[in-house]
Amino acid sequence: MTWPVMGVFLGITRPFLTRLGALVLCSGLWAAPALAAEWGLVAPGAPDDLGDRLRAASTVGDTVERDTATRQDLLAAAQADYARMVGVLYQAGYYSGTVNIAVDGREAADIPPLSPPDQVSQIAILVQSGPKFAFSTARVTPLAQGTELPDGFAPGQPAPSDLIGDAARAGVDGWRALGHAKAKIAAQDITANHTQRRLSADITLTPGPRLRFGQLQVPNTGAVRPERIRAIAGLPSGQVFSPDDLEEAAQRLRRTGAFSSVKLTEADTISPGQRLDIDAGLVDAKPRRIGAGLELSSLEGFGLSAFWMHRNLLGGAERLRIEGEVKGIGGDSGGIDYRLSGRFDRPATFTPDTGVYLEATLQEEDEPDYRERSLQVGGGVTHIFNDTLTGEAGIAYRYSEIDDDLGSRTLEHLLLPVSLTWDSRDDPLDVRNGYYLDMNVTPFVGLNEDTAGAWVMGDARGYWGFGKDDRFVLAARAQIGSVNGASLTELPPGMLFFSGGAGTVRGLPYQDLAIDLGGGRRVGGRSFMAFSGEVRAPLRGDFSAVAFYDVGFVGRDSWSADNGDWHSGIGLGLRYATGIGPIRVDVATPVDGGSRGDIELYIGIGQAF
């Protein structure tokens, strides 16, 4: 019996049970699965990695282990493994091997599928790889200018079959990148010379015509209006076809969150004028989403948060998110804090990557050193520069009623917030590799005071996985802030800086570090720094451990580390992985600036940063 694959033939011989059984038993690879069946695989003379790949590809082992597997299932798995073993051999560059699969001494390929044996006791797989082949010819023609074929696709190099496919795809992709959307493989001549152990791979491409984007064809069946879908996608109709532009259009649609599935496919036929229309395959996501969170600190008490979101409010993929938060319940950090906010986003308002937003926040902060009631309303524009860099610029009005150690007062400010966010993290819920940088600059003007200044805040984070499968993670965070151009009495406490607590320095009381005015009076500082480092290590199952060290600084001056104080804390944590991020438990104690021996407990969802 022979198995043709890619024009190369692999022989399958009829084995002798005694020979094959001895090989399998000597291998020590027998398992003891369901139905009292045993199985084993041996590949004499094959490299260890090839043997591992063969075992991983076999379906027999998994089927035998299933308690519900029938004799028909076992026979089907054995017969399917011929092609799977051949595939692994070809992928590794072996084209003259043999595969024998015996089911209780009978060649599996010779057993009629509709007449399985009454019982299956043993399945033995013998794979003889034979010699490894090298390329005698490795050619893809014609190639577009600038096309680079995979390393190793050259005469004299090992000839794994996957490399041939990679080379062919690289050739087609090279033409598509130049606008030849219909480039394809016209012919392939792949021949194995078993005597010389050589493989000839000669692939011919047909580039096809150079095309331009046509129209985005959108079925009028979804919740988002077709004209808004086209505006969001921003398909560059009339421009030369580009796979990158096509993927970017799809990514814009995914980012809205209004669709659970987005697929943009090229039309089968070319329209007049060498135009290629694009068909949009979209599946609407559920429009509404709700969520809630809970945090607990031994000093700050409970914090509860919740949100409601609509992802297609007006039929144009507009997003409305309303959030509420209550903090300090049962804590010893002032009174209870309340916050209610709402934000409306409309994508693709000015350009496919430029949208608008409106937002409002109403909150009351009852903190150890001040009480502030504030209302802030504003709006602006958002822009997506690429998959990792986004920005916002806007204008806002802030009204604040304040009671603190500087007295009672009412302040009004006009704010001009500008922010940039760069995010390359692999998983925001539980990062193992990547970087995050958030930079905010907010110039302001006092409307009831003749003042002007700027509030600046930066948050940088880095994550480095190491060890097998990045099981260990080193995480670091730096926060730096400053406010200048106004006196302390001309600024609301919410625009000043404190340190201590879960978001800055664990182990120290909430907002423990501030500017001491004497006589028991304290206010926030005009400069701030905080640095955190964590080592995250796996334990067993879904559990992992964390060791961390936090440092914080609050200063009286805008840009100086001289006129201020530092404090620090150290601790250990436990994490339990869930689908919404790890459940976090941290225990910390002061190192500098607090009472030695004090212990603070923090519980929440998600990593600390």
In the predicted model, is pLDDT for residue 36 greater than 70? no
In the predicted model, is pLDDT for residue 10 greater than 50? no
Contact status, residue 356 vs residue 377, Cβ threshold 8 Å: no
Mean pLDDT in residue range 534-558 = 95
Q: What would the two tokens of residue 404 be?
A: 């603190």
SS3 277: strand
Q: Nearest Cα to 107, choosing from 17, 4, 23? A: 17
For residue 241, how far is the Cα from the chain centroid? 28
Mean pLDDT in residue range 53-64 = 93
Long-range contacts of 355-358 (CB under 8 A, 24+ apart): 355/381, 355/382, 355/383, 356/380, 356/381, 356/382, 357/381, 357/382, 357/392, 357/394
* Predicted pLDDT of residue 144: 97
Q: What would the two tokens of residue 73 be?
A: 């299932």
The model's confidence at residue 249, banded by pLDDT at 50, 70 and 90, is very high
Q: What are the tens digits of pLDDT across the range 486-522?
A: 888 899 998 999 999 989 999 998 889 999 888 888 9
In the predicted model, is pLDDT for residue 18 greater than 80? no
pTM: 0.80
